Structure 1
Amino acid sequence: MKQAAFERRYQPAWLAFAAQLDALERGKPPPMQADAFPAAYRQICQQLALSEARGYSSHLIEQLQQLALRGHQQFYRHRSPLLGRLLGFVLGGFARSVRAQWRYVLAASLLFYGSLISMGMLVHAFPELVYSLLPADQVAQMERMYDPDASRLGRFAERGSGDDWLMFGYYVMNNIGIAFQTFASGLLFGLGSLFFLLFNGLTIGAVAGHLTEIGYHQPFWSFVIGHGAFELTAITLAGAAGLRLGSALVAPGRLTRGAALRQAAALGIRLVCGAIGLLLIAAFVEAYWSSMTVVSPTTKYVVGALLWLLVASYFAFAGRSRHAAD
């Protein structure tokens, strides 16, 4: 069956299923009978599999993927206890949501990491460029913070457990604030998320390039490599969720802008919730591991590389089981 005929045949059912999901997500009485929902959900999954097998357009496949993801969430919402749903999300649902939104994740990654790496290389080659992004007093503060002589002079002694807890709380509040800012600003037709992805990438790249250029690379990179696996990934995913909001407003397709935005928000929130979990891990690692001075830089590099590998493996392989629950 050609795609056009396939869409004409099943489009009414997709719209009815989307309306059912909208009602369920808002906590309102659904227009469809409750006992008809499981059959409609299974039909969506079958049609998604057919679309992928027949090589239909990426736009259609993405539309069906979104319906299937939202349907899966609603289907299991009342079938599993809260703890079970949370565990299912952590063990596979989050990774599946990221893979389903891979286009936006790729776009956010190119914007964030591309600007970070490019600015780092430019500042390393042209040192004065750092002052075009950061004020001189902030640059000086960064230099004092990562001065290789600091540990020899005794300025950076090990913190007590109370200080570690305070820093953990600070990192949580600061980083989650950045993530929400990056996500919510996507409501400005995606321009806000675009700005914050570029701004954070350029700023981090400028700091990294400057500290590397003046010879402070070892204290800087050994500090950031561990928690960076979780923190930078979370910022990228929050940006991807924001770009998804912007895309729904700019190109809603056959839906109204309001319906497209609600659909994008339901999917984006899953990315943001997962990003918050990553930021909690990042804050813990930064407060209790990255700041340790008794651990050698080599050990931190090895652990950091393993943490990056762990994050990459999770998103590549978690939730691949057919029976993995959200």
Structure 2
Amino acid sequence: MDVDAFVLTHRATWDRLEQLVKRRRSLTGAEVDELVELYQRVSTHLSMVRTSSTDGQLVGRLSGLVAQARAAVTGAHAPLWSEFTRFWTVSFPVVAYSAWRWWLGSAVGFLIVATAIGVWVAHSPEVQAVVGTPSDIEQLVNNDFASYYSENPAGSFAARVWINNSWVAAQCIAFAVLLGIPIPYLLFENAANVGLAGGLMFDAGKGDVFLGLLTPHGLLELTAIFLAAAAGMRLGWSVVAPGDRPRGQVLAERGRAVVAVAIGLVAVLLLSGLIEALVTPSGLPTFVRIAIGVAAEVAFLAYIVHFGRRAVLAGETGDIENAPDVVPTR
């Protein structure tokens, strides 16, 4: 796009819309109709600029103008149900979908570390000797690992699991203020714990028990944690490499995206906790329990891909409406 030619062609339209917005309390009927028409036209201009140009200053100006015009046209906030629907069909899935590279990278790194540590532990008596005595390890693999999921009432266990998982996800998101630097270590720590338990269980011939108990809830649970890590690291990276847009604008947009992820993951982790409390320790056959976990994971990924991709194609970023273009300074 030739930005200079585009600005020269449409500047009069933008200036006229700005004039009408400033006089919105004293417009005539014809001017109100003109305001609506220009708002729609400039919204299209903004979409074109976002798609074809890297001029952050122009995007910022049009974003602010469209937000002001939208407020003048609507005159009121959208109903609560509309905001709720928009969050689950646009805001949350589009943020998750847009961060898929960070999300996938977190998952691959986690699995590599967990697998490597698991193999190391399973084939190293020296490491196992450091972990615990033979009686301690025997108690873990033959009793403690399985009883963890059934020794407490399902309701209280689900609540405890939800709180624990939410805490891990919250740490990933909170560490975004530190440029996301601590997040890889947090993922490494959790991957090491999974690898350690897996190595001990497989070495004792209990690999089927390990996978049968971990898979039903673990797929969705770990996916949620990977998404939280992705959002936090992506926000931190936006400070280092904001691209062609102003750093403050990118940081503000992705900061609000992190909030959307945090809210969405509350529900995702609640579902994971319910599966862990009700399905994992149940008397259902192992293949049925695993099938339930796989179905929940596939459904969540399909939801993100369907709604997230649709929102991206529509030019959505998941940002809140009437959002400022920069981080507030005071």
TM superposition score normalised by structure 1: 0.69
The answer as to whether partners of 1:244 and 1:268 remain within 8 angstroms in 2 is no
The answer as to whether partners of 1:88 and 1:324 remain within 8 angstroms in 2 is no
Q: Which moved more, 1:38-47 or 1:274-283?
A: 38-47
Residue of structure 1 equivalent to 2:294: 305
Residue of structure 1 equivalent to 2:103: 105
SS of structure 2 residue aligned to 1:147: helix
Cα offset, 1:210, TM superposition: 2.3
Q: Which amino acid aligns with 2:255?
A: A
Q: Which amino acid aligns with 2:252?
A: R
Cα offset, 1:287, TM superposition: 1.0
Residue of structure 2 equivalent to 1:24: none
Residue 136 in structure 1 maps to residue 138 in structure 2: no
Work out the CA distance in 1 between the residues paired with 2:149 and 2:221: 25
Cα offset, 1:115, TM superposition: 2.1
Cα offset, 1:223, TM superposition: 1.4
The answer as to whether partners of 1:92 and 1:324 remain within 8 angstroms in 2 is no
Residue 45 in structure 1 maps to residue 43 in structure 2: no
Quickly say closer, same or farther: Cα 1:218–1:254, change in 2 above 3 A.
Answer: same
The answer as to whether partners of 1:234 and 1:276 remain within 8 angstroms in 2 is no
1:239-279 CA deviation, whole Å, 9 max, x = no partner?
Answer: 01110221122224466655543332111222222222211
Cα offset, 1:221, TM superposition: 1.4
Residue of structure 2 equivalent to 1:275: 265
Following superposition of structure 1 onto structure 2, how do residues 205-284 of structure 1 map, counting pairs within 5 Å?
Answer: 205-253=195-243, 259-284=249-274
The answer as to whether partners of 1:234 and 1:275 remain within 8 angstroms in 2 is yes
Cα offset, 1:224, TM superposition: 1.6
SS of structure 2 residue aligned to 1:208: helix
Residue 289 in structure 1 maps to residue 279 in structure 2: yes
The answer as to whether partners of 2:98 and 2:308 remain within 8 angstroms in 1 is no
Work out the CA distance in 2 between the residues paired with 1:198 and 1:6: 49
Cα offset, 1:42, TM superposition: 3.6
Cα offset, 1:190, TM superposition: 1.9
The answer as to whether partners of 1:229 and 1:311 remain within 8 angstroms in 2 is no
Work out the CA distance in 2 between the residues paired with 1:188 and 1:173: 23
TM superposition score normalised by structure 2: 0.68
Task: Give 5+ residue unaligned stretches, structure 2.
Answer: 15-20, 26-34, 319-330
Work out the CA distance in 2 between the residues paired with 1:7 and 1:276: 47
1:86-115 CA deviation, whole Å, 9 max, x = no partner?
Answer: 233334542222112223223323332332
Following superposition of structure 1 onto structure 2, how do residues 76-95 of structure 1 map, counting pairs within 5 Å?
Answer: 80-95=78-93
Work out the CA distance in 1 between the residues paired with 2:149 and 2:108: 38
Quickly say closer, same or farther: Cα 1:247–1:324, change in 2 above 3 A.
Answer: closer
Following superposition of structure 1 onto structure 2, how do residues 171-182 of structure 1 map, counting pairs within 5 Å?
Answer: 171-182=161-172
Cα offset, 1:128, TM superposition: 4.3
Quickly say closer, same or farther: Cα 1:184–1:156, change in 2 above 3 A.
Answer: closer
Cα offset, 1:317, TM superposition: 1.9
Cα offset, 1:200, TM superposition: 1.6
Residue 165 in structure 1 maps to residue 161 in structure 2: no
SS of structure 1 residue aligned to 2:182: helix
Cα offset, 1:283, TM superposition: 0.8
Residue of structure 2 equivalent to 1:96: 94
Residue of structure 2 equivalent to 1:118: 116
Quickly say closer, same or farther: Cα 1:146–1:289, change in 2 above 3 A.
Answer: farther
Over aligned residues, Cα RMSD in angstroms? Answer: 4.5
Q: Which amino acid aligns with 1:313?
A: A
Residue of structure 1 equivalent to 2:191: 201
Q: Which amino acid aligns with 1:308?
A: E
Q: Which amino acid aligns with 1:47?
A: V
The answer as to whether partners of 1:183 and 1:241 remain within 8 angstroms in 2 is yes
1:269-304 CA deviation, whole Å, 9 max, x = no partner?
Answer: 222222222111111111111121x21212212222
Q: Which is higher, the Rg of structure 1 or of structure 2?
A: 2
Work out the CA distance in 1 between the residues paired with 2:83 and 2:75: 7
The answer as to whether partners of 1:130 and 1:207 remain within 8 angstroms in 2 is no
1:147 to 117, 134, 142: 142
